[in-house]
């Protein structure tokens, strides 16, 4: 979403975000209740996350997650600061001129950490993208989601640079792409290009920047992956960016790590603490959570923090450094942050303690603070950005038997079906079956499933699975029984997810399996079946050498499309964000009239076909 702030269509949004940033800066450290009453700018980011389903790269070499154990017995750990630079002279820059970021490496996103840098392109597309080193194209992927048009270049030192959300490729790479698309009669493809087929040199223009795929505005998504397939902060490889502004700690929370409900529900008793305040708590084990932001050159983009340390009475007891990770580790972000609070409020508090079930290697120390009766503890949180600029946030904790327990937030009892991480867990109602697979939960969690009669567009009961804001490390499976009344229209049944906060429903998917419609989901909640009987709406916008159509489906989104002119397949691009299908006719189409047929199908198989005569 950071990229959105560059889009000219979201100027109003930018102003709103700026206003919120200003409000947060003014209030966050002084207003105890600010977080519930002030719409935090993070919630703006959150909406982007859902748009931004950036691809979790496939085909990485499977390897055990890279867990570095804490040093046993040491209570004090080294301070967090950027690690050693690697190959500093090896790489050039992917864009000309000074680089400004709209997204940092390791930034917190929905279900993953951001795997690269988002580099600003001045709010426009079409900037020249250069290969950062010699090598050859190892993979080209064109997709309507994820990285959009993406280029992977393998370098002789074993690393791979990745360029995402491109508008188009350049030279022989573009020629190869067009050939591939015409060969497959398809816009989207994922091609592992044979080694050496498309060689490039350092500085060669390989593409033009764009806004394709899950991108909220024009920018370049740039990654460097090491030999083992881990993505590494490109700043460690000598990519230099403008950074003139200090990071900013917005607020801290104190967590009671022994709360009984935490064992069952993963929710801590917690309290927001003011800077320089003293908080009395019952003796026990406590941790600190922090909400922060970094700015680089202006306040347009709120960026992540890669280095932080927690000091107790002057000693560093916990650090985190986010410098590299594998793609299969991304979901652990759900343990890295206070997920419950995030799902309730949209605000991400990063835990400055290592939680159970968190296999990330970002941490040193465990961050747990043992509070004894009558003792005081001076706490200091230090956030550091890559250039070494810091912000500090300090407060004091005092142990007291008389203190009240920290509140657990508005937790509602979730249910009575015990689900555990070590096995497949099954829930269900009369008309549904839900499976939470082995490895999907971080800890034992109690769920409930219920159903209410169908209303509105629903043809099935509404299936509700609580605890819907328990994070899932793997997708769960939801199956809803096909109602008798629509048994003969199975192919048109789709599963929708209802969002009670926005009161909107979104297409989830759904395939027929026996007498059920089944789909997997990254998060539980409310699901129902509806019938999609109407094909996509297709509106011609431009009918000439340049073809453009608006395509929209009310229920199940665009599934596939094909365009033929004079009986021959023609390449058209699909951009779901703008609901457009568009392209340019090949030069072989000369002046005169030509017959065009465009077929567009939704995911329920309903097809809309339009026939037009083109007069060139």
State in angstroms the smallest separation of the CB of 58 from Zn ion: 17
Alpha carbons within 13 A on the beta-carbon side of 383: 26
CA distance linking residue 56 with residue 566, whole number of Å:
39
Query: Which region, judged by CB under 5 A, interacts with Zn ion, from 72-80, 99-107, 548-556, 559-567?
Result: 99-107
Instruction: Give the shortest CB-114-to-Zn ion separation in angstroms.
Output: 6
**Least CB distance from residue 573 to Zn ion, whole Å?**
20
In the complex, minimum distance from the CB of residue 119 to Zn ion, in angstroms, rounded to a whole number: 9
Tell me whether residue 45 or residue 476 sits nearer to Zn ion (CB atom).
45
Place of tokens 């090598």: 135
Going by C-alpha positions, the residue among 111, 69, 66 that lies closest to residue 354 is 69
What is each CA distance from 521 to 215, 406, 616, in whole angstroms? 22, 33, 47
Considering only the stretches 15-23, 95-103, 432-440, 586-594, report the one whose residues sit in contact with Zn ion under the rule CB under 5 A.
Answer: 95-103
49 part of the interface to Zn ion, by CB under 5 A: no
Q: Shortest approach of Zn ion to residue 102 CB, angstroms?
A: 8
Site string (171-210) toward Zn ion, x via CB under 5 A:
----------------------------------------
* Closest distance of CB 453 from Zn ion, Å: 43
- Separation between Cα atoms, residue 219 and residue 124, nearest integer Å: 8
Q: How many residues bind Zn ion (CB under 5 A)?
A: 3
Rank residues 118 and 519 by Cβ distance to Zn ion and give the closer one.
118
CB of 383 to Zn ion, least distance (A): 22
Residues facing 163 on adjacent strands: 151, 222
118 touches Zn ion by CB under 5 A: yes
CB of 103 to Zn ion, least distance (A): 5
Cβ 188 vs Cβ 143: under 8 Å? yes
Taking contact as CB under 5 A, which single stretch among the options 98-106, 154-162, 267-275, 462-470 is the one that binds Zn ion?
98-106
Closest approach of Zn ion to the CB of residue 118, in Å: 4
Torsional class of 131: left (φ above 0), alpha (ψ -120 to 50), beta (otherwise): beta
Please choose, from the candidates 338, 334, 347, the residue with its C-alpha nearest in 3D space to the C-alpha of residue 472. 334
Contacts 24+ apart (CB under 8 A), 36-43: 36/345, 40/345, 40/346, 40/347, 41/17, 41/302, 42/291, 42/346, 42/347, 42/348, 43/345, 43/346, 43/347
Q: Is 109 in the site for Zn ion (CB under 5 A)?
A: no
User: Assign residue 303 a region: left if phi > 0, alpha if psi is -120 to 50, beta otherwise?
Assistant: beta
Contact 494, 533 (CB under 8 A): no
Among 130, 221, 311, 361, binds Zn ion (CB under 5 A): 221
Stretch that binds Zn ion, among 37-45, 111-119, 280-288, 310-318 (CB under 5 A): 111-119
Secondary structure E strands in 313-375: 315-321, 324-325, 350-351, 363-364, 369-371
Whose tokens are 């400055």? That residue is 352
Whichever of 127 and 221 has its CB closer to Zn ion, that residue is 221
Q: Rounded CA gap, 124 and 360, in Å? A: 36
Nearest residue relative to Zn ion (C-beta): 221
User: Residue 118 or residue 243: which is nearer to Zn ion going by CB?
Assistant: 118
Which run of H or E residues covers position 27?
Answer: helix 11-27
The nearest distance, CB 173 to Zn ion, in angstroms, is 21
Q: Which one, 42 or 118, has the nearer CB to Zn ion? A: 118
- Closest CB to Zn ion among 99 and 526? 99
Q: Which residues bind Zn ion (CB under 5 A)?
A: 103, 118, 221
């Amino acid at each position: 979403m950071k990229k959105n702030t560059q889009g000219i269509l979201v100027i109003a949004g930018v102003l709103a975000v700026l206003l919120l940033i200003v409000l947060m800066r003014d209030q966050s450290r002084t207003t105890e209740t600010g977080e519930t009453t002030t719409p935090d700018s993070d919630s703006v980011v959150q909406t982007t996350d859902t748009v931004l389903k950036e691809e979790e790269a496939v085909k990485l070499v499977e390897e055990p997650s890279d867990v570095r154990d804490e040093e046993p017995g040491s209570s004090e750990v080294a301070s967090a600061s950027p690690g050693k630079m690697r190959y500093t002279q090896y790489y050039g820059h992917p864009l000309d001129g000074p680089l400004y970021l709209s997204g940092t490496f390791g930034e917190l996103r929905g279900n993953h950490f951001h795997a690269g840098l988002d580099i600003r392109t001045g709010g426009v597309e079409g900037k020249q993208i250069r290969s950062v080193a010699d090598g050859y194209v190892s993979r080209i992927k064109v997709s309507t989601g994820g990285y959009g048009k993406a280029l992977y270049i393998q370098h002789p030192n074993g690393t791979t640079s990745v360029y995402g959300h491109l508008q188009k490729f350049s030279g022989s790479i573009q020629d190869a792409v067009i050939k591939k698309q015409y060969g497959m009669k398809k816009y989207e493809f994922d091609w592992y290009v044979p080694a050496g087929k498309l060689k490039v040199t350092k500085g060669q223009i390989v593409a033009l920047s764009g806004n394709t795929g899950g991108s909220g505005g024009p920018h370049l998504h740039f990654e460097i992956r090491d030999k083992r397939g881990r993505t590494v902060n490109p700043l460690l490889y000598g990519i230099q960016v403008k950074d003139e502004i200090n990071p900013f700690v917005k607020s801290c929370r104190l967590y009671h790590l022994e709360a009984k409900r935490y064992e069952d529900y993963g929710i801590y008793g917690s309290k927001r603490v003011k800077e320089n305040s003293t908080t009395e708590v019952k003796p026990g084990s406590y941790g600190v959570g922090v909400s922060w932001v970094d700015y680089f050159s202006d306040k347009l983009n709120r960026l992540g923090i890669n280095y932080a340390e927690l000091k107790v009475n002057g000693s560093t007891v916990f650090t985190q450094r986010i410098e590299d990770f594998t793609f299969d580790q991304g979901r652990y972000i759900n343990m890295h942050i206070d997920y419950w609070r995030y799902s309730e409020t949209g605000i991400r508090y990063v835990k400055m303690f290592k939680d159970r079930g968190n296999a990330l290697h970002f941490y040193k120390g465990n961050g747990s603070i043992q509070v004894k009766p009558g003792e005081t503890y001076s706490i200091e949180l230090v956030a550091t950005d890559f250039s070494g600029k810091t912000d500090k946030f300090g407060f004091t904790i005092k142990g007291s038997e008389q203190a009240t327990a920290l509140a657990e937030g508005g937790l509602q009892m979730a249910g009575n079906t015990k689900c555990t991480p070590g096995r497949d867990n099954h829930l269900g109602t009369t008309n549904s079956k839900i499976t939470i697979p082995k490895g999907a939960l971080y800890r034992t969690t109690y769920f409930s499933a219920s159903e209410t009669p169908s209303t509105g567009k629903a043809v099935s009961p509404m299936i509700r699975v609580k605890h819907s804001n328990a994070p899932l490390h793997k997708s769960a499976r939801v199956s809803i029984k096909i109602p008798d009344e629509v048994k003969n229209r199975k192919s048109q049944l789709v599963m929708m997810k209802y969002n009670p906060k926005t009161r909107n429903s979104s297409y989830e998917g759904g395939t027929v399996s026996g007498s059920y419609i089944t789909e997997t989901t990254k998060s539980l909640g409310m699901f129902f079946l509806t019938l999609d009987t109407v094909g996509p709406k297709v509106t011609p916008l431009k009918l000439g050498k340049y073809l453009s159509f608006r395509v929209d489906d009310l229920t199940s989104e665009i599934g596939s499309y094909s365009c033929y002119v004079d009986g021959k397949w023609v390449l058209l691009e699909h951009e779901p964000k703008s609901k457009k299908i568009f392209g340019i006719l090949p030069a072989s189409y000369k002046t005169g009239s030509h017959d065009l047929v465009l077929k567009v199908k939704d995911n329920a198989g309903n097809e809309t076909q339009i026939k037009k005569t083109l007069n060139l």
